[in-house]
Structure 1
């Protein structure tokens, strides 16, 4: 049995709106890990991969793996009957013929239920190989949408070129040509990994590094404390022996790096008071600076939403169909950022990663002038 409850139906609606023009019929593969969909368009030029992880649902239960064959257009029509903020629950029994969708309104007692007929679809899940890409570009999803829509008015294809200058989108049409250059923010870095990389392993390695550094710092601090304790013991011993008081005063002077003879206790107290006053002033200044930094950080976050990040191992230039890119850009409503992964003679990867999962598009490049 399957029971999957989403806090808002808008997530599923946006996903279906993004793929309905590429895919006609598809299987939603349900398992304990979540719900996935993988399908190609009729011309076998583009592939779409969708995943909704288990943790992205408010409630999720899947007793055994099961495929749900649906007509994407019909499911889109059923989802239009739900408001964006309605709670959406998907239910299907084992070997069921229908998929039950229940919408619960948040601001009223309205509960609506729909049954969608399932289909038997013969489709094979393609194994997407782990690819080492030569270029990675991260930009605003709204900016990507604007670029591909503007250039689609001029021609049918776009050349995407990633170089040290930045990332350039160029389209040559019969009546006009156009190109858009986006310069990356900061120096261009190297591509570390593709989206199939193991994020958890990297986080664990970073976590171990932090722990080790803290441990090392702690050992150093303990060592310093031990040295101070040893010095303190020596000073106490010197105080007990009257003949060694001068030696202990010299040790204190040497420790404090002052060469003006003995140090009086009153002077030390005055110094401590001055230091305390200085610390109080600096703490106030630091608190003000932190407040200023927090405001500046908010401004920087707002600016970073439109910033472009470029990672490149080598120069890449490929040509793609704008019709498909315009369809891909419909996923911009899900997330503010989009990632482009490119390598010569390798399909372009357009990745939208959001809270509940991801949607990824793979598009084969054009060869020659076709």
Structure 2
């Protein structure tokens, strides 16, 4: 028996909206530690991983580990039936081929039960080791999203260069080139507006802007984003989900005259 009660139901809606353009079908895993997902996009360029910890739910019952295959676009459409302030409960019986979503309004005067068919999805979990990155920047998530959006009409890739001067986002195309430089800035009134750079050595890598713009949809989940770069590792982008978890994106860099491919980690 699985039963998960999430007071901040809008968090689940935001998570699904932020990954459904990258991942079509995925297995949602539930165990004693929480509710999670790990999946790659169809081109094997980007890996998505998220976790909502058990202690963040109002009610969490998971009698045994369970994996539920779902289509994310269908799930997104289903979740649109709930209000932003609704409590969302996810329920599934052992061995069932369906999952039930229950929406309860804050005033407890409206309830909805929606049943969704589960899918059989073959998936492989990649081991993602904790790695030491050459350069890490924490910055406002809205600013990172705006930078990626601003660069998109000019080129189809973004070059991210981390040096002592700061982090530079660059692109070029047929009509010209754009550089945007962000310097470290910790002298702000609100911590979420700070730009914090940690670097052991300079790094410059290129990535597809289409993927970046999909990833930045997760900006609705967190005021800040952490971007980690290493010359020999996939890019790592992390958004905290309230106090109960995270969503992380790993993306292979673009190589000149080559397509992105996610290396084994």
TM over 0.5: yes
Q: Indicate conservation of the 8 Å contact 1:345/1:365, yes or no.
A: no
Deviations 1:28-66 (A, max 9, x none): 011011011000000000000011100110100000001
Q: Indicate conservation of the 8 Å contact 1:97/1:117, yes or no.
A: yes
Q: Distance in 2 between matches of 1:122 and 1:305?
A: 39
1:36 aligned partner:
36
Q: How does 1:308-327 map to 2 (within 5 A)?
A: 308-327=195-214
Report the TM-score when normalising by structure 1. 0.68
Deviations 1:288-315 (A, max 9, x none): xxxxxxxxxxx9542x332210000001
Larger Rg: 1
Q: Distance in 1 between matches of 2:238 and 2:188?
A: 24
1:22 aligned partner:
22
1:160 aligned partner:
160
Query: Is 1:60 equivalent to 2:60 in the alignment?
Result: yes
Q: Distance in 2 between matches of 1:152 and 1:92?
A: 42
- SS for the counterpart of 2:193 is coil
Q: Distance in 2 between matches of 1:72 and 1:353?
A: 21
Q: Distance in 2 between matches of 1:40 and 1:300?
A: 37
Query: Is 1:362 equivalent to 2:242 in the alignment?
Result: no
Q: Distance in 1 between matches of 2:32 and 2:110?
A: 30
Which of 182, 195, 217 aligns to 1:330? It is: 217
Kindly state the Cα deviation for residue 129 of structure 1 after the two structures are TM-superposed: 2.1
Report the TM-score when normalising by structure 2. 0.94
Q: Post-superposition, which runs of at least 4 consecutive aligned residues in structure 1 deviate over 2 A? A: 299-302
Greater percentage in helix: 1
- SS for the counterpart of 1:324 is helix
- SS for the counterpart of 2:49 is strand
1:353 aligned partner:
240
**Over the residues paired in the alignment, what is the CA RMSD in angstroms?**
1.2
Q: Distance in 1 between matches of 2:174 and 2:244?
A: 43
Q: Distance in 1 between matches of 2:48 and 2:138?
A: 19
**Unpaired segments of 5 or more residues in structure 1?**
187-298
Greater percentage in strand: 2
Kindly state the Cα deviation for residue 107 of structure 1 after the two structures are TM-superposed: 2.7
2:90 aligned partner:
90
2:107 aligned partner:
107
1:181 aligned partner:
181
Kindly state the Cα deviation for residue 27 of structure 1 after the two structures are TM-superposed: 0.4
**Unpaired segments of 5 or more residues in structure 2?**
259-265
